[in-house]
Structure 1
Amino acid sequence: MHQNLLSPTPATFEVVDLDGGFLMPSFGEGHAHPLFGGLEENGPSVRACTSIAEIVAEVRRYAEKHPQKEWIIGASYDGSLTPGGLFDARWLDEALSDRPVMLRAWDYHTVWCNSLALERAGIDANTPEPELGEIPRRADGSPLGILREWGAIELLTTVSPGFSFDEQIDALRRATKHFAELGVTWVQDAWVEPADVVVYLEAARRGALSTRVNLALLADPRHFPASLPAMIEARRQVELLGHPLLTANSVKFFADGVVENETGALLEPYCSGLHGHGMLVWTAEHLADSVTAIDAAGFQAHIHAIGDAAVRRALDAIELARRVNGPADRRPVIAHVQLAAADDLPRFKELDVIAVMQPLWAQMDALMTVLTVPRLGLERTDRQYQMRTLVETGATLAFGSDWPCSSASPLEGIGIAVSRATIDGEPAGGWMPEQRLDAETALAAYTSGVASQAGAARTQAPWGEIRVGASADLVWLARDPRTVCPTELPLTGIRATYLAGAPTFQR
């Protein structure tokens, strides 16, 4: 095995009997939110709830168990439990009316709160619509109880106490341990704000990280380019620490929102007509100039783009950065790519853009049938997540889970990428079967694809492959995943995960 990056001691060698198992490069995680995911354990357990009544009961139970908490903060509820994802504050009032309650939805672009939380935030019928956000209202103009997108959500988060510094450190400890248990050794944190950098630095000092983590520093259009010097300083602080598991090489842009909120930006209007074409977070010129600026500063662009209008705007911005700044090893990322115009798909290869997609989303589950299909209509529904088409153009495909929005398990994602069917095998033959991937391609997206995204080949001990001179970032599976039925892939046991030759998980 390669020398352990975490220790200055010379390399040691050990013979491991795979006992009929399968050894392969460890998985990478191309787009996730470890801090959010780890903090879910610090609130009511609403993720598994299958009804409004269950959520209300769980919030009540948690509040009674934690009478000292000033606010009850939790995540992440299923937004498909009500028509249109519209949740009423009065339902949470039944659980708790004398303390504020704030719950995030699975998509993390929506918050549901009780009436007292709205009152504490000063949100009422006279509150204007915030920039980059939306406050759904009742017929009389009063706020319903949900807030969409960050411009609205921050009205609550700025008045809530949040979580303590030590709680956040422990959350990163749990989150990266969770990834290690799933065979992951590198994670892209795709949404890092200035205070989060301080948490990561201390987590690294305390030995709380079980995986490599690269930070994507959030670019807010309301504060950019004034925030660029602070981003450069944050990267310098991470580099000064010199911890082998922590880097800060990327900048995150939100080009739009999500289809479930009708804030994903579309070239043609939504079917409901409620929100027109959705929400473009940046003007075309501002996004292009900003991507060009961070590219010139040596950062990798990591752009959230759900709708086809957002994908086009992201590609245009990357194209300008290439033209202005000249040749470079930039590896720009467009994450999600839920919907893309046919003319834009070849541009990923032409511009050397890495598509970081979430394979678990490419199925006809409740979120798709209840929230997405009615908004997109059947024709656009069947143009989502064109993974195979992108691969056939020669583009680099990498996978990520967007955890905690969905499961962090690479094997679950690979199963969906190969089958395009739910765990129950629906529909037979898969949804959009022409976009199904073979097992080798799906595995590559979660290994060498993410390694390309991370620039692993440029490091002293590259990872994402098994060869002499590479870092021993490995996962030992109970079975060969290429021979397993896609619906059974999640049941394939992980026996051990190795990071630079050191076990980070062993069963």
Structure 2
Amino acid sequence: MSPRLFTGGVIWTGREDTDAVLVDDGVVVATGADARTQGAEVTDLGGGFLMPSFGDGHAHPLYGGLEAVGPPVRACSSVDEIVLAVKQYADAHPDEEWIVGASYDGSLAPGGLFDARWLDAAVPDRPVVLRAWDYHTVWCNSAALDRAGITADTPDPVLGEIPRRDDGSVLGTLREWGATDLVMNVMPPRDEHARIDALGTAADYYLARGVTWVQDAWVEPADVATYVEAARRRALRMRFNLALYADPRHFDSQVTHFAEQRRRVDETASPLLSAHTVKFFADGVVENETGALLAPYCSGLHSHSGMRNWEGNSLAEAARRVDELGLQIHIHAIGDAAVRQALDAIEHVVAQNPPRDRRPVIAHCQLVDDADLDRFAALGAIPNMQPLWAQLDALMTVLTIPRLGADRADKQYPIRTLDTSGAALSFGSDWPVSSGAPLDGISVAASRRTSEGEPDGGWTPHEILPIQRALSAYTAAVANQAFAEHDWGVITPGASADMVWLDRDPRATEPLDLPGVGIRATYLRGAQVYRAEN
């Protein structure tokens, strides 16, 4: 590949603006006047904007790719639309033993509770299993419940809930792993070719949105095998880091296999695949009342404070054992009690294990108690936040706020507060839970408004983040989370030429217009891996 000069537009290196970048053999060689050399092929940016490509610090690409395989329920705006989509898919696929899909909108039924009988009307003779948008909830028909052996006499399992009708019969909605696993464990495995194809679908999705690195934040042994086989086939087209799932029910046996799983990934010698991380779930989600809170929920349904997945000191000790293996800690923590437990666990690791560069991650951080805000910087904990969620959309107004109450709800997603505290804020999408397009999230980070512009001036406007800072949180900050700050995330000599070409400068764009900024091309190690059709 001959040297290539990018010029003819605004180039933001992640640190400063320049007018030229020279790339050779996939690496940035020079910027500015030093980049202008004879003999280089020229890419004219046509007045556009070149910047470091985005990274996604928390997502589920394999699940996202698999969504395209099943019934198309994500866009459905009513229960009737979902049921019709399932029926049409089932009719078109008469040989499929199970109908499996995702992700339906949990706000479409009161309390997020969906009835098996609604799906029975569409498909009475085969199991139907649909994941909700949050991937913490599953909606089944009666045939699926029968296959799983779930009856009115089945008790709520550890780390799970089986909602019931007034007469005690099973409703059809299953919440959290202990309950959803009852069905997942009897489902036939997906075809491996379909799973590898799903990684390609995920890559197509991400590269078209300027993303070249993703933290897969929930990987089980079968998923590791899929990634390894995809790497062996040279089917990976972007960078992935795997976070191996730590289950509190089976951790003692799991932890003995983490090093082996990492070794299998390392043996692929793929520059696009790594497994440096372990994922913990400290709690669930507020919308299911499984997010762990310091004070009880106020919805009136129950007087409780949510669900802690790890009791007592077990999370702290599990994190210490993972850290001993040299792996990065990545903790899902939604509620303020879960965030405190995650910070306590990291504090325990720092106190017990020898000093090293850890960069532990706490993902989501939906609610953070005031007393814990400064602990992130003090402990070197990275808050990886999903800026798209910081808006008053239907999910927030229908499901979240009624459970938290107005005063507590207004303390959600303290993005600017954590950033100014000195914490190493990074961004992610949690795709396919929500849009994986960084510009969609940055739009909300910089406005705290819905796509319709509500509310005027922004919800909790003191948490608005300037656009350029939000761009850094989706680029250099994710590279820092990935221990890759010297490899990508900025356009500087010696770094990999991972870049995205936009049709205009997002910093000079109104926040609500950011989702409409066009992606002209995406580059990975200098090679064009996506180009928009003219």
TM-score bracket, normalised by the shorter chain, equals over 0.9
- 1:194 corresponds to: 221
- 1:353 corresponds to: 381
1:308-350 CA-to-partner distances (Å, cap 9, x unmatched) read 0000000000011011113211100000000010010100000
SS state at 1:217 partner: strand
User: How far off its partner does 1:207 sit?
Assistant: 2.3
> Could you tell me which of 67, 79, 83 is aligned with 1:52?
79
Aligned pairs, how many?
A: 498
CA–CA distance in structure 2, aligned partners of residues 347 and 256 of structure 1: 19
SS state at 2:43 partner: coil
CA–CA distance in structure 1, aligned partners of residues 158 and 42 of structure 2: 59
CA–CA distance in structure 2, aligned partners of residues 430 and 65 of structure 1: 45
- 1:156 corresponds to: 183
CA–CA distance in structure 2, aligned partners of residues 91 and 164 of structure 1: 28
> Could you tell me which of 289, 294, 312 is aligned with 2:322?
294
Q: CA RMSD in A?
A: 1.1
CA–CA distance in structure 2, aligned partners of residues 14 and 473 of structure 1: 18
CA–CA distance in structure 2, aligned partners of residues 325 and 14 of structure 1: 51
TM-score after normalising by structure 2: 0.92
User: How far off its partner does 1:14 sit?
Assistant: 3.3
- 2:498 corresponds to: 473
- 2:453 corresponds to: 425
- 1:8 corresponds to: none
CA–CA distance in structure 2, aligned partners of residues 175 and 192 of structure 1: 15
Matched to 1:376, the amino acid is L
CA–CA distance in structure 2, aligned partners of residues 202 and 177 of structure 1: 19
- 1:264 corresponds to: 291
- 1:9 corresponds to: none
- 1:3 corresponds to: 25
Unaligned segments of structure 1, at least 5 residues: 6-11
SS state at 2:188 partner: coil
Q: Which runs of structure 2 are paired with 1:457-468 in the superposition (5 Å)?
A: 457=485, 462-468=487-493
Q: 1:423 to 1:475 in 2, by over 3 A?
A: same
Matched to 1:333, the amino acid is V
CA–CA distance in structure 2, aligned partners of residues 162 and 426 of structure 1: 43
> Could you tell me which of 384, 387, 403 is aligned with 2:415?
387
Query: Any conservation in 1 of the 2:387–2:444 contact (CA below 8 Å)?
Result: yes
Q: Which runs of structure 2 are paired with 1:427-446 in the superposition (5 Å)?
A: 427-446=455-474
- 2:36 corresponds to: none
CA–CA distance in structure 2, aligned partners of residues 173 and 503 of structure 1: 16
Matched to 2:439, the amino acid is L
Unaligned segments of structure 2, at least 5 residues: 1-22, 28-38
Q: Which runs of structure 2 are paired with 1:77-116 in the superposition (5 Å)?
A: 77-116=104-143
CA–CA distance in structure 2, aligned partners of residues 135 and 215 of structure 1: 30
User: How far off its partner does 1:275 sit?
Assistant: 5.6
CA–CA distance in structure 2, aligned partners of residues 388 and 168 of structure 1: 38
Query: Any conservation in 1 of the 2:241–2:276 contact (CA below 8 Å)?
Result: yes
SS state at 1:498 partner: strand
User: How far off its partner does 1:225 sit?
Assistant: 2.5
Q: Does 1:378 align with 2:400?
A: no
CA–CA distance in structure 1, aligned partners of residues 303 and 420 of structure 2: 34
Q: Does 1:226 align with 2:253?
A: yes
CA–CA distance in structure 2, aligned partners of residues 177 and 354 of structure 1: 28
CA–CA distance in structure 2, aligned partners of residues 119 and 151 of structure 1: 17
Q: Does 1:318 align with 2:337?
A: no
1:31-57 CA-to-partner distances (Å, cap 9, x unmatched) read 000010000011100001001111111
1:143-171 CA-to-partner distances (Å, cap 9, x unmatched) read 10100001100100111114111110000
Runs of 4+ in 1 over 4 A off after TM superposition: none
Query: Any conservation in 2 of the 1:177–1:209 contact (CA below 8 Å)?
Result: no
Tell me whether 260-269 or 278-287 shows the greater mean CA deviation: 278-287
User: How far off its partner does 1:13 sit?
Assistant: 5.3
- 1:251 corresponds to: 278
- 2:3 corresponds to: none
CA–CA distance in structure 2, aligned partners of residues 13 and 287 of structure 1: 54
Query: Any conservation in 1 of the 2:497–2:524 contact (CA below 8 Å)?
Result: yes
Matched to 1:229, the amino acid is T
1:258-279 CA-to-partner distances (Å, cap 9, x unmatched) read 0000000000000024260100
Q: Does 1:506 align with 2:531?
A: yes
CA–CA distance in structure 1, aligned partners of residues 264 and 384 of structure 2: 27
CA–CA distance in structure 2, aligned partners of residues 15 and 469 of structure 1: 20
- 1:405 corresponds to: 433
- 1:483 corresponds to: 508
Query: Any conservation in 1 of the 2:152–2:168 contact (CA below 8 Å)?
Result: yes
Query: Any conservation in 2 of the 1:266–1:278 contact (CA below 8 Å)?
Result: yes
> Could you tell me which of 24, 27, 30 is aligned with 2:57?
30
- 1:179 corresponds to: 206
Q: Does 1:127 align with 2:149?
A: no
Query: Any conservation in 2 of the 1:284–1:313 contact (CA below 8 Å)?
Result: no
